[in-house]
Amino acid sequence: MLRIGLTGGIGSGKTTVAKIFETLGIPVYYADDAAKELMNTDPALKKEIIEHFGEESYTADGLNRKYLASIVFNNKEKLELLNAITHPATIKNAEEWISQQDAPYIVKEAALLFESGAAEKLNYIVGVYAPQHTRVKSVMERDGLSAEEIMKRISRQIDEEMKMKLCDFVITNNDTTLVFPQVLELDKKFREMAEEKAVTSV
């Protein structure tokens, strides 16, 4: 089974693209959602977060995302620390999930595939590229954040152009290019590659 990574900056359209793969029958692992869930359910991870970020990291309702975001989005070292704590747990969880799938290929969607080391465990990486002004507008509309807040988050990620150079395939998500046909073409390619891989490994 082929393992495909799907990445892109905040608001690039990763999740939108991932949903299209799902409609084509492909299992998708949403690493960012999984990480948030694991922060609430994995006791070892919870313990580590409390050790480094304090008891305020959790309320009676679970992870105190507002509190953690206020710390990590204003401090690069703290963001790296939180990522260093959560990524190994998420990668382990993804590996367990992948081993349970039965499909020609799976897609793992994550904002930080290269930065977390997750890319090493994947066969090919697809990047979703959207111009910065589109990304800012999309996230402002979706999350109600200010342009300044979004720019601050963007500035913490690897430069988008550089990230796309690291990808094996790039989907362009802008006002002039349709996304759906690009995903269909890749799906066809990955199914062919998966078949070739299955034949050569017999």
Torsion of CA 166, 160, 135, 19, to 10 degrees: 10
- Within a 10 A sphere around the Cβ of 50, how many other Cβ atoms? 13
Strand partners, 126: 6, 169
Give the residue carrying structure tokens 């990808």.
Answer: 167
Shortest distance (Å) from residue 153 CB to ligand ATP:
8
Side-chain half-sphere CA neighbours of 96 within 13 A: 7
132 forms part of the interface with ligand ATP (CB under 6 A): no
Q: Which of 15, 83, 101, 123 binds ligand ATP (CB under 6 A)?
A: 15
8 forms part of the interface with ligand ATP (CB under 6 A): yes
CA gap 188, 191 in Å, rounded = 5
**Which C-beta is closer to ligand ATP: that of 185 or that of 196?**
185
Q: Are 4 and 124 contacting, i.e. CB atoms less than 8 angstroms apart?
A: yes
179 forms part of the interface with ligand ATP (CB under 6 A): yes
111 forms part of the interface with ligand ATP (CB under 6 A): yes
Q: Which of 4, 5, 6, 11 binds ligand ATP (CB under 6 A)?
A: 11
Judged by CB under 6 A, the stretch of 7-15, 56-64, 83-91, 96-104 that binds ligand ATP is 7-15
Shortest distance (Å) from residue 132 CB to ligand ATP:
13
CA gap 6, 108 in Å, rounded = 6
**Which C-beta is closer to ligand ATP: that of 74 or that of 177?**
177
CA gap 25, 202 in Å, rounded = 24
Number of residues that bind ligand ATP (CB under 6 A): 14
Residues that bind ligand ATP (CB under 6 A): 8, 10-16, 111, 138-139, 142, 173, 179
